[in-house]
């Protein structure tokens, strides 16, 4: 009974879904998420320099990742988690938590679908702590994906 109640509460927590189309095949968009040297080129706020991004990715089911960056104002950010599902060029599922609030773990599911010679990426981030966290992540992810569009073009 307690497990069902916990699952129900997780389903009630805020979530967001973002979709983006890329003029690149799924393999290229997937690689941008799964190869540390590529992720470092696009991940982070729009005006941030790629040199400040560090990524350690063990892309396999059960593998861990850690991504850190320093924003232009000098503030340090670090997020990490565990890959829950890895289907090359099709799907990534991983836990997500900021180092400053590890108890606020959420879940990210990314699907990469072929779309007229390019890719439709469906990004679903669930189990946010509250609406403020969801809204902040929506702004952040949207700006990151603007950079990803340019990176894979």
**Considering the entire predicted model, what is its pTM?**
0.89
Q: Is the pLDDT of residue 78 over 80?
A: yes
8 Å CB contact between 150 and 50: no
Residue 50: predicted pLDDT: 67
CATH code for the part of the protein at 2-152: 3.30.530.20
- Domain residue spans in the chain? 2-152
Residue 121: phi and psi, rounded to 5, are -100, 125
Residue 1: predicted pLDDT: 45
Condensed to tens digits (0 to 9), the pLDDT of residues 100-112 reads 999 999 999 999 9
Condensed to tens digits (0 to 9), the pLDDT of residues 6-62 reads 444 556 899 999 999 999 999 999 999 999 999 999 998 887 776 789 999 999 999
Whole-Å CA distances, 65 to 13, 61, 72, 96, 116: 24, 11, 23, 9, 31
Residue with tokens 């702004």: 139
Mapping DSSP to helix (H, G, I), strand (E, B) and coil, where does residue 147 land? helix
């Amino acid at each position: 009974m307690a497990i069902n109640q916990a699952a129900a509460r997780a389903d009630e927590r805020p979530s967001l879904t973002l979709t983006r189309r890329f003029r690149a095949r799924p393999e290229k968009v997937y690689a941008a998420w799964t190869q540390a040297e590529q992720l470092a080129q696009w991940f982070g706020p729009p005006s941030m320099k790629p040199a400040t991004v560090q990524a350690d990715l063990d892309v396999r089911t059960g593998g861990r990742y850690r991504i850190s960056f320093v924003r232009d104002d000098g503030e340090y950010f670090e997020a990490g988690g565990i890959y829950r599902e890895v289907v090359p060029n099709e799907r990534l599922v991983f836990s997500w938590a900021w180092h400053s609030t590890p108890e606020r773990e959420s879940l990210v599911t990314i699907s990469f679908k072929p779309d007229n010679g390019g890719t439709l990426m469906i990004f679903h981030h669930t189990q946010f702590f509250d609406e403020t966290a969801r809204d902040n992540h929506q702004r952040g992810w949207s700006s990151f994906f603007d950079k990803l569009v340019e990176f894979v073009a």
